[in-house]
Structures are given as C-alpha cells and as structure tokens.
C-alpha cells in the first residue's frame, strides 16, 4: 500500500476549492461519482483498491457529511445537499476524527509503514499536497480552523509529513550534487 497516496486521496475531494465555478462540497464530494471512478480500480486491483477507496470516502462521510454541513452525496442524480451538520467543534466530530487518527496510526504501526514514511522515497512528494493544503494552513490561520482537541493529531501528521518531505529533499539534493561532481572535468 502506498501510504502517501492514501493521505493524498483523503484530501483530494477538496480540490474543488481550487477549481473556479465548481461548488465546494459539490460533485467532488459525491459518493456516486466516487464509486463510478473507483469501479475500474476495483476491477483491476480488486480488494487492494479498498484502502484507497476508504481514504477517499472517509473525507466525504466523516469530514463533510457529519461535520461539514452537507455534501452533494448523490450528484449527478441530485444536487441536494445531505449531511448531519453536527459541526466541527462537536464532541461527535472530534471523537470521529480521533478514531480515524488512532485507527490509521495503529494500521501504520502494525504494517510498519510508519517507519517507511521517513525514508527517502519519491512517492513522499505526494505528502506535499496534504501538508501545504490542509495541515500548514490550519496552523497559519488564526483563529485555528480545527478545534484545540484536534491539534495533537494535526501536529503529529504535520511532523511526519515534513520529515518525509525533508528526507526525500535531502536525497534529491545529494543525488544532484553527486551528478554535478561526476560531470566536472578532471
């Protein structure tokens, strides 16, 4: 399993924030569209596609259906927003976010992926997307966009992602310097 890709997929529905004239929590937050997009992946990769699908739909269902005030869950059949609108500050939302964090941490520890993340790997560059679109803006904005109770998991993810990105950057710089050394005339 490619953990950086899982983390990317967990934030990818919010790409709608970057696309002009596309409503936030609209088509990119549709369960129907997500299922249709994933059908070829399930056909080709079968159950190996499941963690990627789960990462994508957890954003829709936990992040925005529960706490976000509604999503166009059944787009293109209807643009009617559906959601519980319990709010990001609610104990239910905070408990769900912590549960997802703890489950992902346990999975990463059991699969030893937590030890692979800080290793230089080109796929770690993918972690730049959740780092610079979700985690860093959360801390650079005041007041914070997340409840204080959710700051610890955000800080842990931010730390892991920044270490992963820096390790890959160090490797890329070292390779570049080595290449330049080899190209120098003697």
Q: Stretch 33-37: mean pLDDT, rounded?
A: 95
Half-sphere exposure of residue 111: CA atoms within 13 angstroms, side-chain side: 13
pLDDT tens for residues 123-150? Answer: 889 999 999 888 887 777 766 777 889 8
Residue 179 counted as domain residue: no
Residue with tokens 């990769």: 45
Residue 182 counted as domain residue: no
Residue 185 counted as domain residue: no
What share of the chain in percent tops pLDDT 90?
52
Which domain, by its residues, includes 36?
3-174
The number of domains in the chain is: 1
Q: Judge whether residue 169 has pLDDT over 90.
A: no
Residue 169 counted as domain residue: yes
Q: Judge whether residue 98 has pLDDT over 90.
A: yes
Residue 183 counted as domain residue: no
């Amino acid at each position: 399993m490619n953990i950086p890709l899982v983390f990317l997929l967990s934030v990818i529905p919010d790409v709608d924030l970057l696309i002009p004239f596309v409503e936030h929590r609209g088509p990119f937050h549709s369960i129907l569209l997500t299922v249709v997009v994933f059908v070829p992946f399930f056909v080709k990769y079968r159950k190996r596609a499941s963690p990627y699908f789960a990462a994508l739909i957890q954003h829709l269902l936990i992040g925005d259906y529960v706490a976000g005030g509604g999503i166009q869950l059944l787009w293109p059949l209807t643009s009617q927003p559906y959601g519980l609108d319990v709010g990001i500050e609610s104990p239910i939302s905070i408990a769900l976010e912590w549960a997802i964090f703890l489950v992902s941490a346990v999975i990463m520890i059991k699969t030893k992926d937590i030890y692979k993340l800080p290793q230089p790997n080109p796929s770690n560059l993918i972690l730049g997307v959740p780092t610079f679109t979700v985690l860093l803006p959360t801390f650079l904005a005041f007041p914070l966009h997340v409840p204080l109770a959710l700051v610890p998991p955000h800080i842990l993810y931010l730390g892991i992602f920044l270490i992963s990105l820096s390790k890959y950057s160090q490797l890329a710089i070292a390779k570049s310097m080595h290449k330049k050394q080899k190209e120098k005339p003697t």
